[in-house]
């Protein structure tokens, strides 16, 4: 029941009960379903919706299926062998193929049942992931294009004789150059991450670690590129108006913080959900 209703706390409690878990692992229902088959069934909508996005929901389902496999490994080999009515000698290395091939009354292994039950969720997760990656990749591409052009059109212009920037010695120009380079590198990294998401094969296992990790890197570098872009804009503004309106630097810096803060508030919940699902406390912890 804990597996069917995806109750982590109850599942962890049972897992720590010693000999009781061996007896539970050997249990089969009327359809010949073991715990692995129950984990292969899709969760109820109210349990799926505790995380946002179909991709993260698929990741959570994969984590539950993996946790059930680990549960079987933690149980007594003797009870598993006895429950399956095996008469031949079985060594530990043969346990994994054994529980993977357990079939229910319809002849389905746990993996077959998982694939059948989650086919729709995989499609929805692929659509959600591609939509998110496409939108973010468009923003990263625009930032890369603008900042690549900006480095060749430095604020204040160049010296006609030497060709060096006029404000090369100014602190504001150094800030502009460093932040522009940071924008370019981080936005290109973001593009590559989102491109790898769009070209992924979208297998079930990819939702467990690969796709969420790429999305984390993509969103992080995109945030860095936006923040550095606004820093470069503020430095340019100071260079251009430093001779006449030196006081304008403070209000410009304050206003530049607004888009960064807004982006952080809008994307932080999603970013946090992905990080917690990928690197947070596991079901057994």
Same domain? 62 vs 99 = yes
Same domain? 58 vs 125 = no
What's residue 280's pLDDT?
66
Same domain? 217 vs 140 = yes
Which CATH number belongs to the domain containing residue 200 in this structure? 1.20.140
What's residue 133's pLDDT?
94
Same domain? 197 vs 67 = no
Q: Is 285 within the bounds of a domain? A: no
Residue 136 contacts residue 194 (beta carbons within 8 Å): yes
Quick one: which of 105, 120, 113, 106 has its CA closest to 68?
113
Q: Is 15 within the bounds of a domain? A: yes
Sign of CA dihedral 146, 151, 157, 163: negative
What's residue 199's pLDDT?
93
Q: Is 69 within the bounds of a domain? A: yes
Q: Is 268 within the bounds of a domain? A: yes
Which pTM does this prediction carry? 0.79
Token match 């550095």: residue?
228
165 φ/ψ angles, rounded to the nearest 5 degrees:
-60, 140
What's residue 195's pLDDT?
95
What's residue 146's pLDDT?
85
What's residue 86's pLDDT?
42
Same domain? 58 vs 161 = no
Average pLDDT by stretches of 10, the chain with 285 residues = 83 69 68 80 86 87 80 56 43 47 80 89 94 93 86 66 66 84 93 95 90 93 90 80 66 76 80 79 53
158 φ/ψ angles, rounded to the nearest 5 degrees:
-115, 155
Domain that holds residue 33: 8-117
Same domain? 144 vs 89 = no
């Amino acid at each position: 029941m804990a597996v069917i209703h995806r109750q982590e706390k109850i599942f962890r409690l049972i897992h720590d009960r010693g000999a009781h878990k061996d007896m539970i692992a050997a249990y089969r229902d009327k359809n010949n379903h073991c715990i692995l088959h129950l984990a292969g069934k899709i969760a109820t909508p109210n349990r799926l919706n505790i995380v946002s996005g179909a991709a993260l929901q698929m990741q959570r389902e994969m984590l539950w299926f993996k946790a059930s496999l680990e549960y079987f490994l933690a149980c007594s080999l003797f009870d598993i062998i006895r429950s399956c009515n095996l008469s031949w000698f079985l060594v530990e290395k043969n346990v994994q193929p054994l529980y993977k091939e357990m079939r229910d009354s319809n002849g389905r292994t746990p993996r077959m049942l998982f694939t059948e039950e989650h086919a729709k969720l995989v499609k929805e997760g692929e659509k959600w992931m591609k939509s998110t990656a496409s939108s973010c990749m468009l923003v990263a591409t625009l930032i890369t294009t603008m900042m690549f052009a900006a480095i060749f059109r430095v604020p204040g212009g160049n010296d006609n004789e030497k060709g060096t920037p006029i404000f090369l010695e100014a602190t504001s120009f150094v800030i502009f150059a460093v932040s522009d380079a940071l924008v370019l590198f981080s936005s290109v990294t973001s593009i590559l991450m989102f491109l790898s998401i769009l070209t992924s094969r979208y297998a079930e296992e990819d939702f467990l670690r690969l796709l969420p990790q790429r999305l984390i890197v993509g969103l992080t570098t995109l945030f860095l590129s936006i923040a550095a872009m606004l820093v470069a804009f503020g430095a340019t503004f100071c260079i251009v108006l430093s001779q006449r309106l030196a006081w304008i630097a403070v209000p410009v810096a304050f206003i530049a913080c607004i888009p960064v803060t807004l982006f952080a508030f809008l994307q932080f919940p999603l970013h946090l959900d992905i990080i917690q699902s990928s690197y947070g406390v596991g079901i057994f912890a």
